[in-house]
Chain A
Amino acid sequence: MQLRRAPAAILERTSSKVCHCVSSFAIVPLLQDGKKIRLSVEGEPERRYHGVWLRHNCRCPKCLVVSSNQNIVHHSKLVDLSIKEASVDDGSVHVKWDSAKGPHSCSFDVKWLKEFDYSFPNAFDKKNESSKPIVTDTLPTIDCTDMMSSDEGLYEWLKQMNFYGASLLQNIPDHIDIEQIIKKIGNPQEHVYQLIFDVIAVPNSVDAAYTANDLNWHIDQDFFESPPGVQILHCLRFDNCVSGGETLLVDLYNTAQKLRSKYPHHFKALSEIPYSVQRIHETLETENPVSFLMRRPHITLDNSGEIISLNFCPHHHGPLQATEDKIEEYYEAFIAFSAMLDESPTKLAHRLRPGEALCFNNRRMAHSRNNFILNGGERHLKGGYVNIDFFRSKFQLLANKLGTGEISKNVFNSSWVTH
Chain B
Amino acid sequence: MSSFLRAFVTNSHSFLRRTTGYTRTFSEAPAGLRVKLSADGKGLALFSGVTPEESHYHVKWLRHNCQCSQCLSSSGQKTVTADHLMRDDNIERVKLLGDKLLVEWTAHSGWFDVNWLISNHPSSNQIVARKEATPAHPTTKLPFMRYKEIMDPSNEGLYNWLYHLSAKGVCIITGVPADKEHTVKVAHRLGEMQSTVDGECFDVIAVPKEELTNIADSEVGLELHMDLQYYQSPPGLQILHCIRNDPCVEGGESTLLDGLEVVERLRETHPRQFEILSKVQVPFQKIRQKGDFPVKMEYRKPHIELDHNDQVIGINWSPAQQGTLSPHEDEIEEYYEAYTNLFKLFNDSPLIIEYRLNPGEVLSFNNRRFLHGRRPYASNGGQRHLAGFYINIDEFASKLAALSKTLGKSQPLKHVLNTSYYN
Contact = CB atoms under 8 A, between A and B. Distances in A.
Interface string B270-299: 000000000101000111101000111111
A238 interface: no
Contact of B287 (A69, A79, A321): A69
B418 interface: yes
Contacts of A321: 120, 122-123, 125-126, 129, 423
A71 B60 contact: no
A197 interface: no
A52 to B, nearest CB: 5
Nearest to B77: A315
A388 B75 contact: no
A105 B2 CA distance: 65
B28 interface: no
Contacts, number: 255
Given A52-B336, A320-B61, A324-B2, A413 B329 contact: no
Nearest to B197: A390
B136 interface: no
A118 B294 CA distance: 28
A50 B328 CA distance: 11
Nearest to A338: B82
Contact of A3 (B120, B281, B323, B330): B330
A225 B192 contact: no
Contact of A79 (B64, B333, B340): B340
Contact of A296 (B74, B80, B231, B419): B419
Nearest to A336: B82
Nearest to B82: A338
Contact of A290 (B192, B290, B402): B402
B75 A50 contact: no
A73 interface: yes
A288 interface: yes
B78 A303 contact: no
A149 interface: no
Nearest to B309: A274
B326 A282 contact: no
B420 A225 contact: yes
B333 A208 contact: no
B332 A53 contact: yes
Interface stretch (B30-38, B173-181, B314-322): B314-322
A325 B43 CA distance: 13
B406 interface: yes
A52 B60 contact: no
B195 A293 contact: no
A324 B126 contact: no
A204 B297 CA distance: 41
Nearest to A315: B77
Interface in A59-102: 65, 67-76, 78-79
Contacts of A414: 232, 301, 419
B231 A322 contact: no
B397 A78 contact: no
B340 A224 contact: no
A37 to B, nearest CB: 13
A334 B392 contact: no
Most chain B CB neighbours (cut-off 10 Å) among A288, A314, A321: A321
A295 B311 CA distance: 13
Nearest to A278: B76
Contacts of B125: 321
B419 A225 contact: yes
B385 interface: no
Given A319-B122, A323-B126, A207 B419 contact: no
Nearest to A221: B394
Interface string B202-242: 00000000001111000000010000001111000000000
A322 B124 CA distance: 9
Contacts of A56: 325, 336
Nearest to A295: B421
Given A1-B334, A317-B64, A73 B213 contact: no
Most chain B CB neighbours (cut-off 10 Å) among A279, A387, A415: A415
Contact of A319 (B60, B65, B223, B323): B65
Contact of B194 (A190, A290, A338): A190
B347 interface: yes
Given A334-B82, A393-B296, A296 B324 contact: no
Contact of A71 (B288, B320, B332): B320
B81 interface: yes
Interface residues of B, number: 97
Contacts of A316: 77-78
Nearest to B116: A319
B406 to A, nearest CB: 6
Contacts of B329: 3, 48, 118-119
Nearest to A334: B82
Contacts of A116: 324, 326
A79 B290 CA distance: 35
B223 A74 contact: yes
A272 interface: yes
A303 B300 CA distance: 11
A328 interface: yes
Given A225-B420, A327-B122, A75 B340 contact: yes
A371 interface: no
B168 interface: no
A297 to B, nearest CB: 8
Contacts of B260: none
A151 interface: no
B85 interface: yes
B156 to A, nearest CB: 16
Nearest to A65: B215
Interface string B372-408: 0000000000000000000011110111011101100
B64 A293 contact: no
Contacts of B343: 75
Contacts of A338: 81-82
Sort A-B residue pairs by CB-CB distance and give the 10 closest, nearest first: A338-B82, A75-B343, A226-B233, A291-B401, A274-B421, A289-B402, A70-B320, A226-B232, A331-B60, A225-B233
29 contacts: A1-B330, A53-B336, A67-B213, A68-B215, A68-B288, A76-B344, A79-B340, A118-B326, A190-B392, A206-B75, A207-B77, A208-B75, A281-B76, A291-B401, A293-B401, A296-B420, A296-B421, A303-B279, A314-B80, A320-B122, A322-B126, A323-B122, A324-B58, A335-B85, A393-B297, A413-B232, A415-B298, A415-B299, A419-B326
Given A319-B122, A390-B197, 12 more contacts: A65-B215, A70-B321, A207-B75, A274-B421, A292-B397, A292-B398, A297-B308, A324-B58, A331-B58, A331-B64, A335-B82, A419-B326
Interface of A: 1-3, 35, 48, 50, 52-53, 56-57, 65, 67-76, 78-79, 116, 118-119, 123-124, 187, 190, 204-208, 213, 216, 223-226, 272-274, 278-282, 284, 288-297, 302-303, 314-317, 319-325, 327-328, 331, 334-335, 338-339, 387-390, 392-393, 396-397, 400, 413-417, 419
